[in-house]
């Protein structure tokens, strides 16, 4: 039997691993997207975060608010603008605020999906038959994590793309558009977004193992958005200026944080622990 | 097919106390056998099944399932056994078919669609295959869970209370299905509280409460506890006739209860005619002759109580 050819069976299993992870992802999506709360989070959030800044930018342009002196921008922010006109600088400032709101998506969406999927499996007791299959707990966790992180990352990226296209259609000045597609925000969307999604999945796994109500799991896990909100208010108050250097540091910090939380999540996600300790 | 040696499971509670759920379980389940695993609530049946399907690890002891050693070839064990868990645990929002397809893929079944169809038909769920599992009755869920346990054609099947909570008709359907699986040569480890069911289905029965109390065939259990007994229904009874039967050399005991003479024998097949001749010779009118069968329930209760008494004596000593 397979025990006779350990190397052969291992090589064969790389395909098996991929197929099992895909099966889990398919299953998660089929199930979790039937849930209204999850659909709302995944669907409405990107929509609001894309349309709202576009509407505000559009209104600003038409109302003539941009011909003022630009005193609305905190003193620290002026450095970001450089040689821009005060009107452009104000627009960049507004965009920066909204881009920070954008960063809530890769945190909030995975939490919603993972909380409902894991607590859901707990309450229907469907984890036991699942764990009785040849799937490894790493594969199962990877499947669940990807099922939660992929929609979040995609939603963030698509929203960002739509936002960039929207600003072009609105006739936002090239200097402002360059500030949107700047290294700062590209690092944020392309690198920090996925790293945040991974973090929030693992936080949701850890929280979900302890509570038996998906809503409670979601709400508790949402504490991870607090740091983003703090940056948001710090920027409004003029304490902090977001730039590529800061984003690079945040990305590096997130890599470390992700490693810690993947370790913690995986440690909780063991057959025995799930079946005997999860309440 | 299943061999366990001193299999033990302790749970550490949050307060730090240790609970022994299974203690030193040593037994062997033969290939193609339906093996009944009986014990009161909290006896450790589910814990045993979870260990043997390599869902949780034993605290001590060893076990081999399908030739694979527990803790060494866990994935191979999971691949080769099927398990009906205590609660069906379906994906309620997905259709019956989708539920089974997921598991077919996870088990790496070669023809997932074919297997799903086969078992949906066998268990009479084909017409309802597109309905959400959440809309199924308890019996239908149980059938769906049995189908799920069979998709990968496991040689060893663990069934944890397959008929609990089912109406008599659904329970019979499940029992008939177990018979069918048995005729296909699968080894079945059956946990149940339904003693009548165990009596009918199982070649051998283990009576278990944390410790193994006994393992034997239902027939042998009866013999061991009560010997074999034959009842002679008489139109009228007389103590003299009972005395005459008692004096026959092979009769172990003979008691008159109303108009019934209850006789303890080793080989009734050969000894009954002799007794009939004796009674008729004395002028008795025999209406019926039948073997007295103790229900498995009597045996079970007696064994469990004896084990409890022994355990409490041990504690006192
Ligand atoms: N995760 C756990 N943590 C602590 N104790 C446990 C755990 N699981 C089971 N036990 C204990 O182990 C013992 C055996 O439980 P188990 O569920 O195996 O019994 P059972 O024979 O299946 O009972 P039932 O007939 O009620 O299904 C019980 O005393 C139970 O309280
Ligand atoms: Mg049980």
Quote the ligand 2 centre to A164 CA distance (angstroms). Answer: 58
Quote the ligand 1 centre to B30 CA distance (angstroms). Answer: 26
- How would residue A7 be classed by pLDDT, with cut points 50, 70 and 90? very low
Q: Is the CB of B45 under 6 A from ligand 1?
A: yes
Residue B119 pLDDT: 95
pLDDT per residue as tens digits for the range A56-100: 888 887 776 666 554 567 776 777 777 778 888 888 888 888 888
pLDDT per residue as tens digits for the range B161-207: 999 888 888 899 899 999 999 999 999 999 998 888 888 899 999 99
B154: pLDDT strictly greater than 50: yes
User: Which of B19, B91, B150 is the mutation pick for testing A, counting most A CBs within 10 A?
Assistant: B91
Residue A10 pLDDT: 52
Of the spans A104-118, A156-170, A239-253, B89-103, which averages the highest pLDDT?
Answer: B89-103
Q: What is the mean pLDDT of residues A185-190?
A: 90
Whole-complex ipTM: 0.85
- Residue B117 CA, chain-centre distance (Å), reads 29
Q: Is the CB of B44 under 6 A from ligand 1?
A: yes
From B44, B51, B158, B189, the mutation candidate for ligand 1 (largest count of ligand atoms within 8 A of CB) is B44
Contact B187, B29 (CB under 8 A): yes
Q: What is the mean pLDDT of residues A157-171?
A: 90
Contact B50, B87 (CB under 8 A): no
Cα–Cα distance, A238 to B30 (Å, whole number): 77
Of A8, A26, A35, A3, the closest CA to residue A218 belongs to: A35
Residue B120 pLDDT: 95
A8: pLDDT strictly greater than 50: no
Residues of each domain in chain B carrying CATH 3.40.50.300:
2-216
- How would residue A3 be classed by pLDDT, with cut points 50, 70 and 90? very low
Q: What is the pTM of this model?
A: 0.85
Q: Among A24-33, A63-72, A215-224, B241-250, where is mean pLDDT lowest?
A: A63-72
Length of chain B: 317
According to DSSP, the β-strands at B286-292 and B228-234 are antiparallel
Residue B306 pLDDT: 83
B15: pLDDT strictly greater than 50: yes
Chosen CATH of B2-216 out of 3.40.50.2020, 3.30.470.10, 3.40.50.300, 3.40.50.720: 3.40.50.300
A21: pLDDT strictly greater than 90: yes
Q: Among A208-212, A227-231, B174-178, B193-197, where is mean pLDDT lowest?
A: A227-231
Q: Which residues contact B152 (CB under 8 A, 6 or more apart)?
A: B79, B82, B104, B107, B108, B109, B115
Biggest CA–CA distance in chain A, Å, is: 80
pLDDT per residue as tens digits for the range A97-120: 888 888 889 999 999 999 888 998
pLDDT per residue as tens digits for the range B51-99: 999 999 999 999 999 999 999 999 999 999 999 999 999 999 999 999 9
Q: For the structural domain made of B226-292, what CATH number should be given? A: 3.30.70.100
Contact A102, A249 (CB under 8 A): no
**B129: number of Cβ within 10 Å:** 17
Q: Is the CB of B42 under 6 A from ligand 1?
A: yes
Residue B94 pLDDT: 95
Residues on chain A touching B76 (C-beta within 8 angstroms): 1-3
Atom 1, ligand 1: which residue's CA is nearest? A276
Residue B151 pLDDT: 96
Report CA dihedral (A108, A112, A117, A118) to the nearest 10 degrees.
70
Residue A142 pLDDT: 94
Residue A4 pLDDT: 40
Report the sign of the C-alpha dihedral through residues A229, A231, A235, A237, in that order.
positive
Q: How far is B272 from chain A (nearest CA, A)?
A: 53
What is chain B's mean pLDDT, rounded?
Answer: 91
Contact B203, B35 (CB under 8 A): yes
Q: How far is A127 from chain B (nearest CA, A)?
A: 7
Contact A107, A196 (CB under 8 A): yes
B141 touching A (Cβ < 8 Å): no
B293: pLDDT strictly greater than 80: no
Biggest CA–CA distance in chain B, Å, is: 74
Give me the percent of chain B exceeding a pLDDT of 70.
99
A2: pLDDT strictly greater than 60: no
Residues of each domain in chain B carrying CATH 3.30.70.100:
226-292
Decide which of B189 and B295 is more confident. Answer: B189
Contact B289, B273 (CB under 8 A): no
From B39, B46, B212, the mutation candidate for ligand 1 (largest count of ligand atoms within 8 A of CB) is B46
Q: What is the mean pLDDT of residues A133-162?
A: 93
B53 touching A (Cβ < 8 Å): yes
- Chain-chain contact of B78 with A132 (C-beta, under 8 angstroms): yes
| H or E segment to which residue B68 belongs | strand B68-69
């Amino acid at each position: 039997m397979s025990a006779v050819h350990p190397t052969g069976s291992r090589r064969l299993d790389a395909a098996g691993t991929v197929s099992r992870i895909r099966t889990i992802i398919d299953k998660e999506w089929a199930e979790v997207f039937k849930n209204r709360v999850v659909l709302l989070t995944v669907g409405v959030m990107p929509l609001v975060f894309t349309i709202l800044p576009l509407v505000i930018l559009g209104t600003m342009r038409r109302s003539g608010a941009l011909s003022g002196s630009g005193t609305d921008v905190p003193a620290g922010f002026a450095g970001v603008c450089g040689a821009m006109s005060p009107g452009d600088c104000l627009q960049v400032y507004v965009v920066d605020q909204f881009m920070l709101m954008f960063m809530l998506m890769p945190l909030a969406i995975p939490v919603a999906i993972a909380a409902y999927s894991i607590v859901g499996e707990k309450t229907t007791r469907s984890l036991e038959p699942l764990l009785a299959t040849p799937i490894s707990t790493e594969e199962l966790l990877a499947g669940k994590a990807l099922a939660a992180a992929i929609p979040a990352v995609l939603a963030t990226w698509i929203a960002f793309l739509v936002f960039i296209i929207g600003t072009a259609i609105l006739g936002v000045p090239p200097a402002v558009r360059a500030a949107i597609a700047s290294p700062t925000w590209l690092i944020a969307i392309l690198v920090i977004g996925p790293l945040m999604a991974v973090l929030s999945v693992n936080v949701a796994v850890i929280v979900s193992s302890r509570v038996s109500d998906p809503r409670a799991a979601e709400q508790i896990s949402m504490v991870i958005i607090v740091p983003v909100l703090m940056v948001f208010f710090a920027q409004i108050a003029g304490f902090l200026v977001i730039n590529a250097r800061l984003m690079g540091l945040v990305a590096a910090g997130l890599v470390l944080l992700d490693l810690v939380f993947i370790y913690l999540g995986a440690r909780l996600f063991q057959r025995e622990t799930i079946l005997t300790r999860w309440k | 097919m299943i061999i366990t040696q001193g299999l033990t499971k302790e749970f550490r509670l949050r307060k730090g106390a240790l609970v022994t759920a299974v203690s030193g379980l040593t037994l062997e389940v033969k290939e193609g056998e339906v093996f009944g695993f009986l014990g009161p609530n909290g006896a450790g049946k589910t814990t045993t099944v979870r260990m043997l399907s390599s869902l949780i690890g034993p605290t001590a002891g060893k076990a081999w399932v399908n030739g694979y050693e527990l803790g060494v070839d866990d994935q191979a064990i999971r691949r080769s056994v099927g398990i009906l868990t205590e609660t069906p645990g379906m994906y309620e929002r997905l259709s019956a078919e989708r539920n089974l397809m997921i598991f077919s893929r996870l088990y790496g079944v070669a023809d997932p669609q074919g297997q799903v169809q086969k078992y949906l038909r066998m268990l009479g769920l084909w017409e309802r295959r597109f309905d959400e599992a959440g809309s199924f009755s308890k019996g239908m869920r149980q059938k769906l869970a049995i189908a799920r346990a069979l998709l990968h054609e496991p040689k060893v099947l663990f069934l944890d209370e397959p008929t609990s909570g089912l109406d008599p008709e659904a329970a019979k359907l499940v029992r008939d299905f177990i018979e069918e699986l048995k005729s296909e040569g699968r080894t079945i480890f059956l946990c149940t509280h339904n003693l009548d069911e165990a009596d009918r289905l199982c070649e051998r029965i283990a009576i278990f409460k944390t410790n193994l109390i006994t393992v034997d065939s239902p027939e042998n259990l009866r013999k061991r506890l009560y010997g074999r007994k034959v009842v002679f229904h008489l139109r009228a009874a007389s103590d003299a006739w009972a005395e005459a039967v008692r004096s026959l050399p092979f009769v172990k005991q003979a008691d008159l209860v109303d108009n019934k003479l209850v006789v303890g024998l080793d080989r009734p097949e050969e000894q009954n005619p002799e007794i009939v001749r004796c009674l008729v010779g004395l002028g008795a009118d025999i209406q019926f002759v039948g073997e007295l069968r103790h229900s498995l329930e009597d045996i079970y209760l007696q064994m469990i109580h004896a084990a409890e008494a022994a355990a409490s004596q041990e504690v006192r000593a």
